[in-house]
Amino acid sequence: MPDWFNRKALRWERQLAWRAQVAVATRAPFLKSAHGVDPDSHIGEVVYDSKAVITALREPATGINPSRQLVPTLIEAAAAVTKLGDLWPSWIDYCNGRSKHVHSTLAATTEECRCAIQAIGDAR
């Protein structure tokens, strides 16, 4: 286990670590919400959840003592997930093009529809 997780770590550092672990762990079940008939929805879910994972990793990286051994690892992990998040515009374009060829009952589960719904929610 990392050094900062022991009793010498400050309470607020342990709290940051715990929140990050919970945030990342609760994103794991995303595949259950992906549509089983549309395998592309699995990738869409991962891309969609990447923003929350990045936030969860950056919070402890900026909140704990910079000399802690885990900080560089957290920053590297956040950078890797950021690359996944960069897929977002390309993924939307791909799914928008693909949805034109998808049966109408499946079209409601495509990334295009999800993004439209998310955009409406973000605008509120």
- Give the model confidence (pLDDT) of 34-61 as tens digits: 556 666 776 777 777 788 888 888 888 8
Sequence-separated (6 or more) residues with CB below 8 Å from residue 45: 30, 31, 33, 34
Give yes or no for a contact between 93 and 85, defined as CB atoms under 8 angstroms apart: no
pTM of the model: 0.54
Higher pLDDT, 28 or 81: 81
* Torsion, Cα of 100, 102, 103, 105 (10° steps): -100
Whole-number mean pLDDT of the chain?
70
Q: How far apart are CA 15 and CA 7, in angstroms?
A: 12
Q: What is the mean pLDDT of residues 91-97?
A: 77
CA distances from 36 to 46, 75, 80, 123 (A): 15, 33, 27, 29
Domain that holds residue 99: 3-123
Instruction: Please state the domain count of the chain.
Output: 1
| Alpha-carbon separation of residue 120 from 76, 90, 110, 115, 124 (angstroms) | 32, 20, 16, 9, 7
- For residue range 3-43, list pLDDT tens digits in order: 545 556 677 777 777 777 777 776 655 555 555 666 677 67
User: What pLDDT does residue 123 have?
Assistant: 52
